[in-house]
Structure 1
């Protein structure tokens, strides 16, 4: 027992040390970039400043992410009332690509000058700056999963855009739009809340909330069913590495009175861990068993549970499931 405790403590301290070192490296980049001017005359000027201050590709990629996240705001008004799409004519493929690039350039300059954009502007500006500092970067368009009603949705959409960037021998996932904050429906406004989890994001978490139009990442197929039918996860889920081990589906089909087993990574019996019943009252998880670095417990699904069940750790949402009574 003593040896097990020593091993556990050693592993825990190793993880903390590695995470601390990793954070400290990015902290240095973030702190320097936050001292930059809030605006630059051109994207060339900003790219030149980044190239001057940073030599490693990873630091350049992070510097762009941080500057955009702290200086651009999501244009929610434009999201609600998008401009009409612009049509154009062309005589060959080369002319088509040239005109498409001109349209992208307009979006980039508008985002850079006004410091407001929707996801397309964020991702195009990121690509523009990444290319200018010597990084390979692409814009990816696809679907996003952000609401309870997205659990079990039947069809895919294409309402979001993000980036993939190449550094240190790998293509990395970056969503600078979500890195700058989120929309708070209760307050009716955008909330600026820097979320570094969307820089070099973990693919398992990333594709729980993103689905590319191509259906693939690095030539590997991504499960459409896992995206559409999986649980809804939140930023705090990713930050705490609270991976959902069970159930795998976000749709819980049960009869009244059935017990459902849940298991979450990195949660213990002593944590303030609870769910809300259909009256929005907190119900503490009482019967948990700690298993392999996580918590396993059962919930009786009855008429006190609403159409969705959301679990909270302290005051933060961790995961939501859709409840379907047979």
Structure 2
């Protein structure tokens, strides 16, 4: 094949796969939102535009999520250097509620105007816009699971906020903060990357990474131990529907030389799946077998195995577990 033809074919394939990736990342609602101006005079003006352009409750709820995730950036400076909590006094319940409302209105306005916020600003802004288009919505506070050391943590804490929105009589889970991107701790930079699966997230994934202060979801109790002791899952786990079927805990008690069996949904033998040892060297999984939509494989617990074992699928982390030495 001539060099010119090779170059043209390479260009075509690059364009094809970029467009394919784009179409998978953004749906029709997102494409409309991407054409919106970045600045509106007020939240009311934005809500009116969304209410005009979209008809169904689902479309409006998704449009609000997409606008926030695409336009508001997480304020890591504020997160790393938090301001002291504001204190206020009151004589009546009305005065208390009024001051809380004023404080929340201020957070919403700053997020909307400055295009920066922490999770409280994201969730309050989502609630403000959802209410404005006639949706029932709640702001939920609770714990989030994002770090290796969160596996096997003893207690929950309040460190995050998200939303529940009612769509056609069913409550859906929304995290606009995580929908906008993430923080790369190794490079210490904020990465703006739209994550659409944090809208209407499957509860089995959502509550692997979120635990509400109430300990309940739609009046059903959430297993606190399952949250604290479960494996750490990543964005690619949710995006690829890679459910962890086995082990059922993120804490793996195992002897040296013993094999650990894993089962992960929607992975095939042809996929590139590996883990790293204590020196950062790549190690292959053992005995991979495809079974009814999942891959079963094993890892031998050796001295080279780290305290935490993280699996990578085609170069992206999907799940981490904590290895606990088993006494003889």
TM more than 0.5: yes
For residue 279 of structure 1, give the secondary structure of its aligned residue in structure 2.
coil
In the alignment, structure 1 residue 312 sits paired with structure 2 residue 312: yes
Give CA-to-partner distance per residue, 1:64-101, whole Å, 9 cap, x none: 11111111100000001111111111112122111100
* Corresponding residue for residue 278 of structure 1: 278
* Corresponding residue for residue 14 of structure 2: none
In the alignment, structure 1 residue 84 sits paired with structure 2 residue 84: yes
Alignment of 1:1-326 (within 5 A): 27-326=27-326
Runs of 4+ in 1 over 6 A off after TM superposition: 23-26
Give CA-to-partner distance per residue, 1:244-284, whole Å, 9 cap, x none: 11001101111111111111111111111111111111112
Question: What is the Cα deviation at residue 25 of structure 1?
Answer: 12
RMSD: 1.4
Question: What is the Cα deviation at residue 26 of structure 1?
Answer: 6.6
* Corresponding residue for residue 15 of structure 1: none
For residue 288 of structure 1, give the secondary structure of its aligned residue in structure 2.
strand
* Corresponding residue for residue 8 of structure 1: none
Question: What is the Cα deviation at residue 24 of structure 1?
Answer: 8.0
Cα distance in 1 for partners of 2:25, 2:305 equals 45
Cα distance in 2 for partners of 1:232, 1:25 equals 24
Cα distance in 2 for partners of 1:261, 1:25 equals 33
Question: What is the Cα deviation at residue 292 of structure 1?
Answer: 1.4
Cα distance in 2 for partners of 1:79, 1:26 equals 28
Question: What is the Cα deviation at residue 169 of structure 1?
Answer: 1.7
Cα distance in 2 for partners of 1:275, 1:199 equals 30
Give CA-to-partner distance per residue, 1:202-222, whole Å, 9 cap, x none: 000000000000000000000
Cα distance in 2 for partners of 1:115, 1:298 equals 46
For the Cα contact (< 8 Å) 2:286–2:299, is it kept in 1? Answer: no
Cα distance in 2 for partners of 1:24, 1:94 equals 48
Aligned residues: 305
Question: What is the Cα deviation at residue 168 of structure 1?
Answer: 1.9
Cα distance in 2 for partners of 1:33, 1:254 equals 50
Cα distance in 2 for partners of 1:32, 1:240 equals 25
For residue 79 of structure 1, give the secondary structure of its aligned residue in structure 2.
helix
For residue 120 of structure 1, give the secondary structure of its aligned residue in structure 2.
helix
Cα distance in 1 for partners of 2:24, 2:49 equals 22
Cα distance in 2 for partners of 1:271, 1:95 equals 60
TM-score, length-scaled by structure 1: 0.91
Cα distance in 2 for partners of 1:278, 1:24 equals 36
Cα distance in 1 for partners of 2:38, 2:74 equals 16
For residue 249 of structure 1, give the secondary structure of its aligned residue in structure 2.
coil
Cα distance in 1 for partners of 2:33, 2:273 equals 37
For the Cα contact (< 8 Å) 1:272–1:284, is it kept in 2? Answer: no
For residue 105 of structure 1, give the secondary structure of its aligned residue in structure 2.
helix
Give CA-to-partner distance per residue, 1:30-58, whole Å, 9 cap, x none: 01111101011100000010011011111
Cα distance in 1 for partners of 2:71, 2:265 equals 34
Unaligned runs of 5+ in 2: 1-19
For the Cα contact (< 8 Å) 1:143–1:156, is it kept in 2? Answer: yes
